[in-house]
Amino acid sequence: MRKTTFKLATLLALLSIGVAQAQTKLVEKVTRKGNELLIPYEKYVLPNGLTLVIHEDHSDPIVHVDVTYHVGSAREEIGKSGFAHFFEHMMFQGSDHVADDEHFKIVTESGGTLNGTTNRDRTNYFETLPSNQLERALWLEADRMGFLLDAVTQKKFEIQRATVKNERGQNYDNRPYGLVSEYVAKNLYPYGHPYSWLTIGYVEDLNRVNVNDLKNFFLRWYGPNNAVLTIGGDVNSKQVVSLVEKYFGNIPSGPAVTKTQVPTPVLDKDRYVSYEDNIRFPMLQITFPTVPNFHPDEAPLDALAEILGGGKSSLFYKNFVKKQIAVQANASHPATELAGQFTFTVLPFPDKKLDSIEAAIRQTLVEFEKRGVTDDDIKQFTATREAQLIDGLSSVSGKVSQLASFQTFLGNPNYLPQEFKRYKSVTKADIMRVYNQYIKGKNAVILTVYPKGKADIVAKPDNYTISTADYKAPDYGYAGLTYKKPKDNFDRSAKPGPGPNPTLKVPPYWTDKLANGLKVIGTRNDEVPTVTMLFSIKGGHLLSATDPSKAGIAQLTAALMNEATERFSNEELNAKLEKLGSSIDIRASTEEINVSVESMVKNLDSTLALVEEKLLRPKFAAEDFERLKKQQIELIANQSTQPVVIANKAYSKLLYGPDNIRSIPVSGTTKTVEAITLDDVKTFYQKYLSPSVTNLVVVGDVDQSTAMTKLAFLNKWTPKSVTLPKAAPARKIDKTRIYLVDKEKAAQSEIRIGYLTDIPYDATGEYYRATLANYMLGGAFNSRINMNLREDKGWTYGARSGFGSTKTPGPFTAQAGVKAAATDSSVVEFVKEITNYSKSGITEQELAFVKSSLGQVDALRYETPLQKAFFLGRIIEYDLPRNYVEQQSDILRNITKAQIDAVAKKNLPINNMIITVVGNKELVKPGLERLGYELVELDKEGNPLVTASSTSTAPAKAGSSSDNKGNNRN
């Protein structure tokens, strides 16, 4: 590594010069020598305090722009929780020179993707675009940094407040175990501690804040001196500096920001707390306070968590999952800027009381003390961390994110070598020391989450009450803040045009075939020293069509293939994989059994030896079968607590009909899984898993000859004649009906609207054209459906639609999770948008957007090994021509409004669709009945309960719903 650093005194002198006179100066430049594990970059500081980090990577024609502000929910205060995250939403609502909702539209139109995230300690905004769109991204980010507040209106404020509340409903209140982190936070940390509430905040606090609170938050924390701008990809550093100076250089600095200092929480006793949830499996979670991230003890604590509960070779897996005491058991150690939390989590089977689980956890710790830390533990941990760090280097966005994080929290973008070193240096003595210092005999928050009506199973009665004594609200310096806009010598209202179109790099690939029929496709990728392999074994759940009474057998077979083999126990296999830093994962889906493999190049031979074991020599042990069968049955029962799963199950049964195997989940039903025997699994494996119906994708730093030599073991796999089931004809829908499933007291309703199409996947045919037509209806963020329900109404966190065919025709589905009070109104708006699009089609402006957006997005599609693997997997699955991407580009470039309109009209039969709603029947049924559709009630398995025709004979028009008032924004 070569590192050039300029003295701090020189930098401080520069910052003391007036903005008009000072110049942006290079602070340091880091380059790579050989194969060093580091990210090359240049670091600059502008006179206004903005830190700029640039990483050049010319491997793909893309650029990733990240603006990280050193402010998160930890800068909030009691009574104003959730504000940092709320503000993140507001940053997408336009600024002086960017109209409302234009930020998403401009980036998407440019072929890019974008988002923002908020956590306890920072908020970041990022875009990935074709590299010729760099200036446009910088213009957008600079405009909201320097010109936001005059564009903030009360209307925008109210809509985004409603959206955030819906996000809380969807991801916390309406999700099993969704409030676990909230209960731990408020009971682990003292009242008023920056971590004593979650980033999402409390609804009552969101209701309390006003526009002026938002504006002060912006003025206090969103200055350039509290931000890091990191740019990586196919860029020229000199040009980047010039553009950043142009767009960011005149933005005034904000108030100074100092690091928050808080003491480590001290618990004087074990704090037992509990709450009731709509769940099947109770949960016991024990959380100890530990150290912040980058603390010297973080790495050994991470290692301790991995040994105790990080995988199938861990003590928690052995003592809880393997012994069929729990469906899940693990340990983790998340650490953030101000504190860390060491957590044990166990989800026991429903017949267990939590006091016995707590005792078993403590006994497991005693066992660990006696066992100690082994050399293999260290090897497994360090190899796994090495693989994780290298995986983070496989994309420009991953590298930019690491640089931005290191600079934000450490002031040193070049921390990756030290990060690697500190994990590589963990010793057995370190791990035992931190165990004794932070876990053994220490007090913790012990949380029980119990199913409804089962408070008697808690570990111990609640014994802790949060004290508000001695709390003093922090003074963050909001008084007297003023808004000063930049003064420019150029026209900032002029949206920058794109640079010259980059040359797209569709991965070149090779194909091959083994004598047993296994097809192979691959590409050389030397950007990171890894190999990704994806096996796709055709059939999957669909093979149960021959005997639906044993549906779920594909999933059970795949699960058993992840267990012991003829020569190794599951624990031995996982220990070997972890010491290699490799992974092998086998899963069943509707149409396939998939085997995914990740390996370092240097360990590929050893990893493939384990693939051979799992793929060709599974043991199918009776004890593994009984345990996994029990787990699968319990997980099926657990699905009745999850609104999204309930909605998908009911919708599928309505789409395909009860006699179609696709109407049964891949996991099967309780009845069908109970009927499966171990001999059934062995027969399924012997009969259906064959190289003759298998495709293999290879992406990594190996050429064709080397790869095929290493894959020679697959010739041992004996081929069989496998006949794949034919698709059943599409089920006809005579008229649109509403199907309602009751989810008692649900804060949100899940909506699915659609039908089963008659068009299979075709990369250059009608299916492709249908996806183009859907893009503006519900495929893009700024589609009609999402803009209506989320951005205009604030009823949902997100709404979308799409076509989902494979080789057999699939459904068209429009869907969203919406706030319960707006359920009927949301159905009306869905129907309105689909109807209008079917009748009137796309506008010329929308068509231009589709062509611009999808015409440039290919630049982003082939960057990472996994992206390349999926791309190649589609080629081999559908036998696509080598130039199919060019064919799609020609279709997109030449398609007309009339052609799009014809596709929409044909494929959006709104009067012959299924409307499925899962929600609180007591609240939503009256409004749904007034919409004029026949309404049929279903149970949670999608079976009819009661059919009641509504009094009206015609569907309600938009606006006729009782809840569809023009001012209904909450």
Same structural domain for residues 92 and 223?
yes
Containing 904, the helix (H) or strand (E) segment is helix 897-907
Helix (H) or strand (E) holding 64: strand 62-69
List the single range of 404-413, 445-454, 936-945, 957-966 with lowest mean pLDDT. Answer: 957-966
> 402: Cβ–Cβ under 8 A, 6 or more apart, which residues?
39, 392, 416
Claim to verify: residue 830 and residue 797 sit in the same structural domain: yes
Question: What's the CA gap between 34 and 43, in Å, rounded?
Answer: 21
CA distances 17 to 12, 47, 49, 256, Å, are 9, 8, 12, 17
CA distance 375 to 382: 11
Burial letters 854-891, b for 16+ CB under 10 A, else e: bbbbbbbbbbbbbbbbbbbbebbbeebeeebbeebeeb
Residues 236 and 335 in one domain: no
Same domain? For 571 and 670 the reply is yes
Q: Average pLDDT in the 426-437 region?
A: 98
Residues 634, 584 share a domain: yes
Burial class (CB in 10 A: 0-12, 13-18, 19+), 375: exposed
Residue-averaged pLDDT of the chain? 92
In a domain, 266, yes or no: no
> For residue 905, what are the CA distances in angstroms to 776, 837, 955?
14, 8, 19
Distance of CA 265 to the CA centre of its chain: 31
Residue 257 lies inside a defined structural domain of this protein: no
Q: Which two tokens stand for residue 439?
A: 């876990």
What are 134-148's pLDDT values in tens digits? 999 999 999 999 999
599 and 746 share one domain:
no
Host domain of residue 557: 510-647+657-716
- For the cut 90, the answer to whether the pLDDT of residue 351 exceeds it is no
> Could you tell me which of 82, 86, 75 has the C-alpha nearest to residue 122?
75
Claim to verify: residue 97 and residue 215 sit in the same structural domain: yes
CA 36 – CA 40 distance, rounded (Å): 10
For the domain that residue 152 is a member of, what is the CATH number? Answer: 3.30.830.10
Q: Is residue 108 part of a domain?
A: yes
Judge whether residue 956 has pLDDT over 60. Answer: no
Residue 679 parent element (H or E): helix 678-688
Which of 685-694, 717-726, 944-953 is least confident? 944-953
Cα angle 49, 53, 55; round to 5: 170
With respect to residue 113, please indicate whether it lies within any of the assigned structural domains.
Answer: yes
Q: Where is average pLDDT lowest: 88-92, 889-893, 953-957? A: 953-957
Q: What is the pLDDT of residue 965?
A: 32
Position 3 scores a pLDDT of: 55
- Residue range 342-365: mean pLDDT, rounded: 95
- Give the least confident one: 156-170, 421-435, 600-614, 900-914: 156-170
Average pLDDT (713-737) is: 91
Q: What pLDDT, on the 0 to 100 scale, is given for residue 33?
A: 86
- Per the CB < 8 A criterion, the answer to whether 209 and 41 are in contact is no
Domain check: are 190 and 219 in the same one?
Answer: yes
DSSP secondary structure code for residue 665 in this structure: -
Alpha-carbon torsion, ordered 777, 780, 781, 785, to 10 deg? 10
229 assigned to some structural domain: yes
Handedness of CA 404, 410, 415, 416 (dihedral sign): negative
Structure token digits, residue 505: 């790099």
> What's the mean pLDDT in 71-98?
93
Judge contact between 954 and 930, C-beta under 8 A. no
Q: What is the 3-state secondary structure (H, E, C) of 600-630?
A: EHHHHHHHHHHHHHHHHCECCCHHHHHHHHH
Give the Cα separation of 189 and 172 in Å (integer): 20
Predicted confidence (pLDDT) at residue 7 exceeds the cutoff of 80: no
Dihedral sign (CA 700, 703, 704, 710): negative
pLDDT surpasses 70 at 887: yes
Task: Examine residue 65 and state whether it is found in any structural domain, yes or no.
Answer: yes
Per the listing, tokens 């600024």 go with 95
Q: What is the mean pLDDT of residues 348-356?
A: 91
Mean pLDDT on 773-795: 95
573 and 696 part of one domain: yes
Closest C-alpha among 289, 287, 299, 275 to residue 344: 287
Whether the CB-CB separation of 139 and 494 falls below 8 Å is answered with: no
Tell me: do 829 and 910 sit in the same domain.
yes
pLDDT score recorded for residue 946: 58
CA distances, 524 to each of 507, 518, 706, 707 (Å)? 9, 20, 11, 10
- Residues 292, 337: contact at Cβ < 8 Å? yes
Q: Is the pLDDT of residue 954 over 50?
A: no
Q: Is the pLDDT of residue 69 over 80?
A: yes
Kindly state the tokens that stand for 183. Answer: 């209960």
Structural domain tally of the chain?
A: 4
Residues in the chain: 970
Average pLDDT over residues 791-807: 95
pLDDT at position 941, please? 87
Domain co-membership, 797 together with 696: no
**Per-residue pLDDT tens over the stretch 566-613:** 999 999 999 999 999 999 999 999 999 999 999 999 999 999 999 999
Burial class (CB in 10 A: 0-12, 13-18, 19+), 700: buried
Domain-located, residue 3: no
**Over 60: is that where the pLDDT of 126 sits?**
yes
Which one of 161-175, 469-483, 797-811 scores highest in mean pLDDT? Answer: 797-811
Residue 87 inside a domain? The answer is yes
Among residues 200, 190, 195, the alpha carbon closest in space to that of 335 is found at 195
pLDDT band for position 4 (cuts 50, 70, 90): low
Strand partners, 271: 445
Over residues 520-571, the pLDDT tens digits come to: 999 999 989 999 999 999 999 999 999 999 999 999 999 999 999 999 999 9
- On whether both 228 and 345 belong to a single domain, the answer is no
What is the pLDDT, as a whole number, of residue 463?
97
Using alpha carbons, select from 178, 333, 354, 332 the residue that is nearest to residue 283: 354
Q: Could you report the per-residue pLDDT of 179-224, keeping only the tens digit for each? A: 999 999 999 999 999 999 999 999 999 898 888 888 999 999 999 9
